[in-house]
Structure 1
C-alpha cells in the first residue's frame, strides 16, 4: 500500500488539494475566498512540484477568470509586461556573453592579477562571480566559475602534496645527516693514541645516501610512521578546508551579486514589477540606477564580510600569518603561473567578443544614465508630449479608489506648484527598452569580421539556440506572481 501511494502521491495530491479546500469558496461566496482558494492550490503545486513549475504558473490564466476574480483581458497582459521584457532582454544578453566565452576571459584576467595567494585568489574569485551574477543568473554564474575554481583547487592540492613530501624528505635527510656525522666522528683506538677518521665530501655524500636508505627501511620506528600519518592528516585536512572554502565562496558570491543589480535575479525584477503596478501614477518608481545605488553598497559589504568569514573558517593559517615563507612564495608563484597560462591559452579576443563587450558597456551606460531621479537623463529625448505638463502635484490630486488601488504613500511634502517639473511616468523609454535592444543586437551583429575575404554572414547568437537556453520557466513564474499580486489587490 505504501509503495502504491509513493508511486502515485503526486496524482493523489493533484486531485485532493482542490477537493479539500473546495468548501472555502462555496461557503464563503466572496471574491476574497475565491482568490484564497486559487492561491492555496497554486502554492501547494509550486511547493511540492506536483506538476512542472511553468505549467503551474500558467494556471492563473485559467483559474482567475473562471472564479470571477480577474478578467482574462486583465490577466493575460501580465505575462508579458515591460518587466517581463526587461527580464527576457537580460537573459538573452547573458546567453550572448556565455556563447562568446567572454565571462571566462574576464574571470581569468582578474584572477591572474590578484592570484598571488590562496586568500587573494578566493577574493578575486568571489569578486568576479559576484560581478557576473549582477548581469546573468546566479546558476549561470556558478556554472561559469566552477571549472576555474576546480582548476585552482587542483593546483592547491598539488601544492599541499608537494609541501607534505618536502617536509618528510627534509626530516629524513636530517636524520640521515645526523647518522653520517656520528660515523664521521668514530675514533680508532691505538694504545693511548686516538686516530680520527675524516671522510671527504664524496665519501660523506655516499655514506649519507646509504644511511638515508637504511633509515627509511630498517631503522624506521613505529612512532616515526605515526608522525608521518599525523602530518599527512594535517595537510589533508587543510586541503579539505580550502576546497570547501572555494566552493562555498562561489555559491555565496553568486547570491550576493544577484541582489546588487536590478537584473541580477528574477526576484529583483518581480519586486520592480510589483512596485510599478502598485504605485502607478506616483513618483515612487524603481529603475536601474536607484536600485544599483541601494543594492551595490549592501552587496559589497556582504561580500567582504563573507570573504572574512570564509578565511576564518577555512584558511585561518594563511590569513593570520604575518610573514610569507619561501615555500609559500614558490606555491604562490605556481598558482599565479597556472592562472596566467590559462588566460594566455584563450588567445587574443575575437571579433564577437569585442562586439559583445562593447554592447555590454553600452547597456550599462544606458541603464545608469537613463534616469537620475529629479534630474532626467537621456530619456528626456523620448518625452511623451501629450502629458508633459503633468507634475507630481497634479498626480496627487487624482483620486484613486481603494477598491482599485491599495493605500498609496503620502506625498504631501510635494507642493502642488512644484518649481522643478518632475514628470511622472510620461516617458516612452524604460529600462526594459534598453534590455531588449541590447539583447537583440547579438542576434543581428555578425559573428566574424565582415571585412575578411570569403566572409559569410552569421549572427553571434542563433535564435534557435537562444530559445533553448532562455529560462521560460522563470518568465512564466514572473507572470504568475504578478497575476496573484493583482488578484490580491482587487480583493482587498
Structure 2
C-alpha cells in the first residue's frame, strides 16, 4: 500500500531541489551574460551615471570635468579602444561649448606627435634590417654567459634598445635569444651531471668487485648492502636532477623578468623612448607656451639617463639576490669547476652561432646605423643649453621653437625613404629572355611602416593634448588649483614621494599613456596654485608611470614574458613590489639632486606664473 504523505514529502523535496537548481542556473547564466556584455554595460552606464554632474552644476568647469571622468573610466576599463576614447573631445567639447571643433582638432597633430612619428620611423627601419639583433648579440658576446654577467648583458642590451625602439619590439626580440641560451645552459648542466653520476657508479662497481672475494661468507649481507647502495645512488641522481631543474626554473624566471623590467626602465632615458615622456613635453608646451622649450631631447637625457642607470643597477642587484642567491663569487663564475666552464662555453657558442648567421653588415644596415647616429647627434646639438645649438646659429637666433626635435626626426625619416638599400648591380629582372636592371627598394618602404606603425598612439597623444587645452579653456585647471592650495603646508619632497607612489600604483592597472594624460594637467594646476615649479612634480610622476612591474597586464613587455609560461603572477608581484619602491625612491632622489640643479626647480619660473598670483 502506498504511503501518500511520504510520497508528497518526497515530491516536495524534489520540487525544492529543482527550484534551487533552476535559480542557481539562472543566477549563473545572468552573471555569465553580465560578464560577457560588461563592456557594453560600461559604455552605457558610465555616461548616464556621470550625467548629474553637468546637469546639477551647469558650468563649463563641470562640463569639462564630466568629459574627463567619462574618458578616465573608459581608459581604465578599456571598454572602448584607447584611441577611440581619445576622440571624445572632438565630439563633446564643441557640443558643450567648451571649444570649437577646429581648435580641438588642431590638438591632434602637434609638434610632439610628429616627433613621435619620426622617432618610430627610425625604430621601424632599425627593426626591419635587424640592426637591433646584431647589436644585442655583439654585446652578449662581450659580457659572456656567467650567470650574473649574463643577466647584466641582457639587461644592458634590452635597456639600450628600448631607448630607441619600442619596449614591446625589444622584448619580443630578446626573449627568444634568452630562451635559446638558457636551454643550452640547462642541457649542458644535465649532461655534465649524468656524466658525473655514471663515473661515480662505475667507481663504486669497481670497488664492489675488488671487495667481493674477501667477503664470500657474507654474500647475503653484501647483496643487501649493494641493493641499498643502488637505491642511494638512484636517490642521489633524482635529487640532483630535481636541484638542477629547480635552479634552472629560478634562473629562467630571473632572466625573463630582467628583460621585461629593463625594457620598461630603458624607455625612460630618452624623450622618444616611451610615450609618457612625449606626453609630458606636449603638456608642458600646451599649458606653458612660454617655457622656452625647456623639455627637449638633450635636457631630458641629461636628467633621465642617470636615473635609468641607477634604477637598472638596483634592479640587477635585486634580481640577482632573488634568483641567483647571495653567492656572488659563484654568480660571477669565479670558480675552478671545469664542467661549469664547459657548460658556459656551449652557451657562448650558441650566441656566437646566432651572430654568424647574420653575416657581415650589409649596405642597408650601415646606412641605417649612420642615419641613426646622425639623428642622435643632431638631437643633442640642436639646443644643448650650455652653448648655442646649430638650430639657433643657422636658422633663428631669437626663437628656438622654429626648428625642434620633430624637425630633425622628420628630416632623417624622409632620408630613409630616399636612400636605396643597396647599390649592387646584381639586381636584374628577367623579362622575355632579356635582363634589365631593377631599382633597389629604399631603406624604408611605406608598406612596412603601415604594418608596424602604432597609429593609435598618435590619436591617444592628441586626445591628451585636447583634454589639457579643454581644461584650460573651461577654467577647470584654475578651479582645481584653488582647491589644492592646502598642499602648500606639506614639505615638497613629501608631495613628490606621495604622488610618485600614487602614479606607480595607478599605472599597474591602466595604460601609462592614459595615466600621464589624466594626471599631468592636474599636477600642473596644483603646482601653480602652491607656487611650486610645475616640473618638480610633473617630471617624477612621468617617470613613475613607467614603473609597471607587478602585473602581467600592466605593460606589453610583462605580458610577453608571462606568455612563455615560466612565471606566475606571484613571481612578478613579489619582484615588482620591491622594484616599485626602489623606483620611486630613485626618482625622488633624482628630482631632488641633479634634476633640481638641471631645471632650476628650487625657483618658481616666470613662464609658469599664468595667473600672476605667485611672486
Who is 1:296 aligned against?
305
How far apart in 2 are the matches of 1:338 and 1:469? 29
How far apart in 1 are the matches of 2:381 and 2:185? 43
- Find the partner of 2:392 among 380, 398, 406: 380
- Find the partner of 1:260 among 256, 269, 280: 269
Q: Is the 8 A contact 1:115 1:335 kept in 2?
A: no
Who is 2:469 aligned against?
486
Who is 2:421 aligned against?
447
Who is 1:280 aligned against?
289
Q: What's the secondary structure of 1:69's corresponding residue?
A: coil
Q: How many residues align?
A: 428
- Structure 1 residue 133: deviation in Å? 0.2
Who is 1:467 aligned against?
450
Q: Is the 8 A contact 1:160 1:239 kept in 2?
A: no
Who is 1:356 aligned against?
368
Decide which moves more: 312-321 or 240-249. 312-321
- Find the partner of 1:165 among 189, 194, 201: 194
- Structure 1 residue 7: deviation in Å? 2.6
Decide which moves more: 220-229 or 362-371. 220-229
Q: Is the 8 A contact 1:108 1:342 kept in 2?
A: yes
Q: What's the secondary structure of 1:376's corresponding residue?
A: coil
Q: Is the 8 A contact 1:153 1:243 kept in 2?
A: yes
Who is 1:314 aligned against?
323
- 1:301-337 per-residue CA deviation (whole Å, 9 max, x = no partner) reads 1111111111111122763325341111112221222
Change (3 A) 1:303 1:456: same
Q: What's the secondary structure of 1:375's corresponding residue?
A: coil
Q: Is the 8 A contact 1:92 1:440 kept in 2?
A: no
How far apart in 2 are the matches of 1:187 and 1:8? 80
State yes or no: 1:5 paired with 2:14. no
- Structure 1 residue 277: deviation in Å? 2.0
Q: Is the 8 A contact 2:141 2:348 kept in 1?
A: yes
- Find the partner of 1:457 among 440, 443, 446: 440
Q: Is the 8 A contact 2:71 2:85 kept in 1?
A: yes
- 1:213-246 per-residue CA deviation (whole Å, 9 max, x = no partner) reads x99x966543433222221111111000110011
TM-align CA RMSD: 2.3
Who is 1:38 aligned against?
67
State how 1:8-407 maps to structure 2 within 5 Å. Answer: 8-183=37-212, 186=214, 220-283=229-292, 285-316=294-325, 319-321=328-330, 322-384=334-396
Q: Is the 8 A contact 1:119 1:318 kept in 2?
A: no
How far apart in 2 are the matches of 1:158 and 1:133? 30
- 1:10-66 per-residue CA deviation (whole Å, 9 max, x = no partner) reads 222211211111111111011110011011111111111112221111111111111
How far apart in 2 are the matches of 1:299 and 1:293? 11
Q: What's the secondary structure of 2:37's corresponding residue?
A: helix
How far apart in 1 are the matches of 2:114 and 2:215? 93
* TM-score, normalised by the number of residues in structure 2: 0.66
Who is 1:392 aligned against?
none
How far apart in 2 are the matches of 1:222 and 1:56? 66
Change (3 A) 1:324 1:304: farther
Unaligned ranges ≥5, structure 1: 189-213, 389-422
Q: Is the 8 A contact 1:115 1:121 kept in 2?
A: yes
- Find the partner of 1:433 among 391, 399, 407: 407
Larger radius of gyration: 1
Q: Is the 8 A contact 2:185 2:346 kept in 1?
A: no
Higher relative contact order (CA 8 A, sep 6+): 1
How far apart in 1 are the matches of 2:140 and 2:228? 47
Who is 2:486 aligned against?
none
Q: Is the 8 A contact 2:155 2:262 kept in 1?
A: yes
How far apart in 2 are the matches of 1:28 and 1:141? 48
Q: Is the 8 A contact 1:351 1:448 kept in 2?
A: yes
Q: Is the 8 A contact 1:64 1:70 kept in 2?
A: yes
Change (3 A) 1:80 1:284: closer
Who is 1:396 aligned against?
none
- Structure 1 residue 428: deviation in Å? 2.1
Decide which moves more: 84-93 or 452-461. 452-461
Greater share of residues in helix: 2
Change (3 A) 1:375 1:232: same
Q: What's the secondary structure of 1:281's corresponding residue?
A: coil
Q: What's the secondary structure of 1:29's corresponding residue?
A: coil
- Structure 1 residue 123: deviation in Å? 0.9
Q: Is the 8 A contact 1:382 1:427 kept in 2?
A: no
